[in-house]
Chain A
Amino acid sequence: MGKRQLGVRKPIEVAIIGGGCASIAAAFELTQLRHKGAYHVTIYQLGWRLGGKGSSGRGVAGRVQEHGLHVWLGCYDNAFLLLRQCYEELKENAKWRGRKWDDFFLPDPHIAVAGISANGDWVNWAAHFPPAPGLPGDPLDTHNPFALKHYFARGVALLRTLLLGLETFRASDATNQNLDLERDQNDSDAIIARVTSLLRLGALASAAVAVEALALLEAALKSVAAVPQNTVLKLMEAIAAAVRKQFEQLVASDDHVRYQWEIVDLILANLIGAIRFGLLTDPRGLDAINHLDQREWLRLNGASERAIDSPFTRVLYDMALAYEGGDANRPAVAAGVALRGTLRFFFCYRGAPLWKMRAGMGDVVFAPFYEALRQRGVTFKFFHRLRNVKLVDASRLAPGEKQYVEALEFDVQAETRGKREYRPLINVRGMQCWPAEPDFRQLKDGPRLQRENRDFESHWDHQRAAALELRVTRDFDFVVLGVGVGALPYVCGEIVASNPRWRMMVDRVKTVATQAFQIWLGADLQELGWEMPPVTLTSFVKPFDTWADMGHVIPAEDWHGHPPRTAAYFCNVLADPPHEPDAFDIDYPRRRREEVRVNAIGFLNRDIHHLWPKAKRRSGEFRWELLVNPEPTKEKTGRTATRSRFNTQYWTANVNPSDRYTLSLPGSLEYRISPLDNTYDNLTIAGDWTDCSLNVGCVEAATMSGRLAAHAISRWPALEDIIGYDHP
């Protein structure tokens, strides 16, 4: 640590570049009270808002407009821990008084997947995950979710969930109505149908873990004993006929049985693999299999091709946006990362497996952090785009001295009027929120900038009002580089050119562009024909494989008495064009957005009826009138809405290099560099792309990375306190 820390009042200056989850976590840790003000943090952020890939903005009618659908998992211990501390700290803040973190998070116990059935239709499978004790972010010594008992309890819940899924199926299957064996004693066909079904389940499942199969066979046996002899005989014949058919046919004929089987098959393959590959004792933990793709790993461990192609495997790819180049035909995720994520997801959640925000992620997460950090004295510099991290010339280094960052070069995109501090938040229904656009009134030349339709977040917008150079010791002591990995070639040219490890990292840690759209609907889910609970559904058709019902956000919006009945968010990867756009192609983001608009319209016309059968007209087209226009006065009303109604909704193409989603490709993880790395002794990195242990593009990994960056500078928090850092 620097000597100045001892006995000298002047705080250590930390410049944090970027205001995403990782940067904010680093800032929050460095300004904890325990440091007694030893660190003064300044956050330099391009554009007008914090959040990065997790940002959101309020648009017309106070609508929440997300960078992309964001849900938090119940196992995000680091992220929830810090966020809860933040809310706690704001208790006394006049704007936040009385607001608790759990007022803004909705536990969601339902997860659904969609898959193609034997007859080519889409079938949905929704699982209900029973509530797990505690809440995410609870201190671990209270609930200790990682102790021995924890996995057991979660394991029970998991299989119970599987079995419950099965029950639901049985109850709803037309050929297999809830039969009462006593009552239907003489209805041998009915009994045969039931027992045949049981038999199918048994046969299939036992091939995997001999769990359900054995149980259900026993059940079948008992049922047989309870019916008259001739029925037994008939039954036996029916069973024999059924089982003589190949398993393939059994699976193909019964989608829900197939789902059940696929999950069990995948669990077994992972168990076998863990043993085969010696993961239990390998010092690399699950990283030992990161050279393999998840599917390859499952295949190596005997999973059936059906299970490998199943929605339950796809779900991992879809949730991790794991499609190289955004190409649906190039799914790729490192097996170790996927398995770690899965274990944590299933076994470590508290409360619910998913937590959905009741407003934008910007409002629920980044606005409170902004307020709390300001309260702690953090300085925010919006409209500051880092252009270059300048290293000291090696010839000027003292013997044994490490290379370091000598200067940070910025474009100041816009200046505020009267050099006043930019105040970024607005109030929507009593809540502090980020607007979807900058507040031009606060900016020098604001009206002109607004007229010019300036996009301060666009990578291709190079205009600036001024340039700024920060120099080491004069303006900063330490740097936390918290930009997205996609931005590194543009801001760290010198480092990338001179340091082979960085070059490899930039080459190998790839990213993918994403697309998202949101629609606000005048009908509720039931009216749309969706019969399951409000869910988060994934592994659906491309180009939008993930859908979340977000009706619960509407009360936080500002619809002036005519709120929509529900809202739906969709999200997925966006394929890269054959050639990269050139550096000055300022129109590029607009063209990509247009592509997303067309994709979304096509998807609504072509695919959504698989989920919402009542959302289509007789002609097969989407019922465009379902979309609620936030500015109805500007439009003729009536049932004849056309696809142009879609233009009143929200869509986005996330193509800026920094905004691209970080992939965890097989064979890439070892090229990540840790925030603890000390090659440049006044620079640390932070972001979901760093070697932060979890190593998957998510809020939790970014938070862990930010905490590690804080540790690198201040030795706090202890590595053991970064939850899950030492996960196998």
Chain B
Amino acid sequence: MAKKSEGKKGERLRRDDPDRDAPHRSGSDHIKRNAGSGSGKGGGAGNGGNGGPNGPKSLISESVQQAISNMVQLSSTVIEEQIRAGQTAAARLRDGMANSQQLNTDVSMMVESLVATTKDVGATWLDLLSIVVRSIGAKSAGPGVPGDRKGTGTTQPTTRTQTGTSSGAITISNVTPADPAIPAEPPQIVVTGNGVKNVTLDLRPPSPRFVPLVRELLAGDPKHSLPKVKFQLTADRTHLVLTVNVPRGQTAGTYTGAIVDSSTNEPGGTVSVTVGS
């Protein structure tokens, strides 16, 4: 029953191989590629298929990075309006939030600064806030960190790292200045006391006026803390040193805390200290 017309055999047409057969997905790549295409002629509706370009010239800088930084910026805008804290989470994220632990710590920082501003209201409020802090601590207990990348793409600040040992602890000192005017000099880490396995300092000074202050370091269980971690200047007042003093009998665990500006409370890094059993 099949119909087979006896038409002449013509030349078979073929498709050429395409230049590519997959999208360019890389977020940063995407931004670069779109950066110059500001005024693509979108034919848009009404083009009527008349042959003009019938779509936009890829003004689609819909990068996840921007979405995220804007979301976070938005979050902080709300905070600013409401409590005038003036601390923008977006800036910190853009400055190169490296991992979730830092993000969680970051949130902790905000809450901690609220603790400071509400201290005088009374112990009940502090009760409340400590619950908040604890709940954040619980959140940070996530799984491992796959794809442990640093930086967020386009304007990645440079990080300088200095590793060493002190009192048997491995020390890693990173500094990532947000501004080229800030000297990229990793502070020295000096450990006193026993049982410290490692200390990691991740300093991200947001401005040249930044004077770091370490908040109390908390363990996953916030009942345990490590209060004696401080920044000091060397005797000649030219270099910054982080001193970590771990008393005897300190419960084993990883203690993390925020670094803030001593006068503005603006966050600028994290410290983590692992005490072995």
Cβ of A532 within 8 Å of any chain B Cβ, yes or no, is: no
* B124 contacts A by Cβ under 8 Å: yes
- Contact: A274 with B25, CB < 8 Å? no
Q: What 18 new A-B contacts, CB under 8 Å, besides A88-B45, A141-B56? A: A3-B13, A84-B46, A138-B42, A159-B78, A247-B135, A271-B72, A280-B68, A281-B149, A302-B104, A343-B62, A475-B5, A676-B20, A678-B15, A681-B15, A717-B54, A727-B25, A728-B62, A728-B64
Contact of A726 among B10, B23, B53, B149 (CB under 8 A): B23
B129-184 at interface with A (beta carbon < 8 Å): 131-132, 135-136, 139-143, 145-149, 151-153
Cβ-defined contact, A152 with B1, below 8 A: no
- Taking the complex as formed, is A219 at the interface, i.e. its CB lies under 8 A from any CB of chain B? yes
A32 part of interface (Cβ distance < 8 Å): yes
Pick from B7, B13, B118: contact of A2, CB under 8 Å: B13
CA distance A287 to B27 in the complex (A): 11
Interface residues of chain B, those whose CB is within 8 Å of chain A, are 1-5, 7-18, 20-30, 33, 37, 39-68, 70-75, 78-79, 81-83, 85, 89, 93, 97-100, 103-104, 107, 110-111, 114, 118, 121-122, 124-125, 127-128, 131-132, 135-136, 139-143, 145-149, 151-153
The B-contacting residues of A in range 203-242, CB under 8 angstroms, are 203, 206-215, 217-219, 221, 224, 236-237, 239-240
- The segment from A64-72, A438-446, A464-472, A610-618 found at the interface with B is A464-472
Evaluate contact between B29 and A283: CB separation under 8 angstroms.
Answer: yes
What residues of B have a CB within 8 angstroms of the CB of A206 in the complex? 107, 111, 132
A-B contact list, 15 entries, CB within 8 Å: A1-B15, A156-B74, A206-B111, A211-B78, A215-B81, A221-B121, A244-B127, A271-B68, A278-B148, A280-B64, A343-B62, A376-B49, A682-B15, A718-B55, A726-B23
A140 sits at the interface (CB 8 A): yes
Q: Is A155 an interface position by the 8 A CB rule? A: yes
Count: A-B pairs, CB below 8 Å? 358
Contact assessment for A209 and B107 in the assembled complex, using a CB-CB cutoff below 8 Å: yes
Task: Answer whether A274 and B11 are a contact pair too, CB < 8 Å, given A725-B23, A728-B27.
Answer: no
With A141-B57, A218-B82 known as contacts, the answer to whether A148 contacts B66 (CB < 8 A) is yes
Residue of B9, B43, B107, B114 near A139 (CB, 8 A) is B43
Please determine whether B128 and A247 come into contact, CB atoms closer than 8 angstroms. Answer: no
Nearest A-chain residue to B37, judged by Cβ: A720
Residues of A within 8 A of B11 (CB): 2-4, 473
A residues within 8 Å of B by Cβ? 1-4, 12, 28, 31-36, 77-78, 80-81, 84-85, 87-89, 101, 137-142, 144, 146-148, 150-152, 155-156, 159, 199, 203, 206-215, 217-219, 221, 224, 236-237, 239-240, 243-244, 247, 267, 271-272, 274-288, 300-302, 343-344, 347-348, 376, 402, 404, 409, 466-469, 471-475, 477-478, 674, 676-678, 681-682, 684, 691, 693, 711-713, 717-728
Q: Cβ of A214 and Cβ of B62 under 8 Å apart? A: no
Contact A272 to B142, CB < 8 A, known contacts A206-B132, A207-B132: yes
Is B56 a contact partner of A140 (Cβ separation < 8 A)? yes
Bound together, the chains give a CA A300 to CA B100 distance in angstroms of: 11
Which of A85, A286, A676, A725 contacts B45, CB < 8 Å?
A: A85
The prevalent SS among residues of B at the interface is: loop
CB of B45 within 8 A of CB of A720, answer no
**A151→B66 contact, CB < 8 A:** yes
Cβ-defined contact, A473 with B58, below 8 A: no
A411 to chain B: closest CB distance in Å? 10
> In whole Å, how far is B173's beta carbon from the nearest beta carbon of chain A?
22
Query: In the complex, A477→B21 CA distance in Å?
Result: 21
